[in-house]
């Protein structure tokens, strides 16, 4: 015969007399499940979530010091073992320096200026070459200009001594038309000549030379010199007195050895005169 189940231990709540459950307190919940009528109690609700201000994520620490440069290259990294190409040298910069060295100065300056413009626009090398070409050409051009100005001033400030048109100089330095302020046989002809419009004692009317390796002797030289001076006076000054007194400078044995072959005929006036014997 089947035995009835044993009665539950402790008091049993009567139907209809179960006490009302109060509000659920999650912080004072019973650690043991509560049974109702022999059935397990439902699971406890989850902890409530209370709204509130969100907290920002902590910032990364900042350490003092120089910032690290950003890595270069694709993806922020420099590829190892691959050299970066250098920009080319501008061709006009090289040409400017070469042209300056071969003294094509205006072309070098223009080429150097164009090269500097191209280097700035294209990021090329060669700026120093272009500047050097311009500097060398500019300095050389300035030197030529200064030399030309100085030469012109010297020519303007040093007119010919004689009033006649300039004639080719003989190796002796004297030419027909030169006048001499003072004639002194003991000292010879004193350089430089003076203008014939100024008071003077002598006037050169002929200059010619002799030939021969050996000195022919003083008498032979004298005869050759007087003949030549007599023949040349009428052609130099047709209106001059044929008895015009003149002096002759001719080579001696000593000056002959030094290469002197020149004979100089000088019309002489004891009292200084003004004007040429051709007037």
Terminal-residue alpha carbon distance, the chain: 191
Average pLDDT in the chain:
74
pLDDT higher at 57 or 234: 234
Higher-pLDDT residue of 65, 216:
216
From residue 40, alpha-carbon distances to 34, 36, 57, 241, 267 in Å are 7, 7, 44, 173, 166
* Averaged pLDDT, 75-83: 56
Task: Decide if pLDDT at 41 tops 70.
Answer: no
Q: What pLDDT score was predicted for residue 161?
A: 47
Is 205 within 8 Å of 223 (Cβ atoms)?
A: no
Residue 251 has pLDDT above 90, yes or no: no
Determine the average pLDDT of the residues in 74-93.
Answer: 70
Q: Is the pLDDT of residue 196 over 80?
A: yes
1 has a pLDDT exceeding 70: no
What mean pLDDT comes out for the span 135-145? 87
Q: Is the pLDDT of residue 153 over 50?
A: yes
Question: Distance between CA 169 and CA 175 in Å, rounded?
Answer: 6
Q: Which residues of 211-250 are buried (b: 16+ CB within 10 A; e: fewer)?
A: eeeebeeeeebeeebeebbeebbeebbeebeeeeebbebb
Residue 96 reports pLDDT greater than 80 = yes
Find the mean pLDDT for residues 84-93. 84
Q: What is d(CA 178, CA 256) in angstroms, rounded to the nearest whole number?
A: 24
């Amino acid at each position: 015969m089947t035995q009835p189940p044993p009665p539950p231990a402790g008091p049993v709540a009567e139907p209809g007399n179960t006490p009302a459950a109060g509000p659920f307190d999650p912080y004072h919940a019973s650690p043991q499940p509560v049974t109702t009528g022999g059935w397990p109690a439902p699971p406890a609700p989850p902890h409530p979530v209370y709204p509130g201000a969100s907290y920002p994520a902590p910032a990364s620490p900042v350490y003092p010091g120089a910032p690290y440069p950003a890595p270069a290259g694709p993806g922020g990294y420099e590829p190892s073992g691959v050299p970066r190409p250098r920009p080319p040298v501008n061709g006009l910069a090289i040409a400017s320096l070469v042209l300056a060295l071969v003294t094509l100065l205006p072309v070098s300056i223009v080429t150097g200026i164009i090269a500097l413009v191209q280097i700035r626009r294209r990021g090329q090398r060669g700026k120093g070459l272009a500047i050097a070409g311009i500097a060398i050409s500019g300095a050389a051009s300035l030197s030529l200009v200064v030399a030309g100005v100085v030469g012109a001033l010297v020519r303007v400030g040093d007119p010919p001594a004689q009033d006649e048109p300039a004639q080719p100089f003989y190796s002796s330095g004297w030419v027909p038309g030169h006048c001499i302020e003072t004639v002194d046989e003991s000292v010879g002809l004193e350089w430089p000549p003076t203008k014939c419009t100024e008071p003077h004692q002598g006037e050169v009317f002929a200059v010619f030379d002799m030939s021969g390796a050996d000195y022919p002797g003083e008498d032979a030289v004298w005869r050759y010199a007087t003949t030549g001076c007599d023949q040349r006076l009428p052609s130099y000054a047709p209106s001059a007195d044929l008895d015009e007194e003149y002096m002759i400078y001719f080579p001696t044995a000593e000056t002959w050895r030094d290469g002197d072959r020149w004979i100089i005929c000088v019309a002489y006036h004891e009292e200084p005169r003004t004007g040429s014997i051709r007037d």
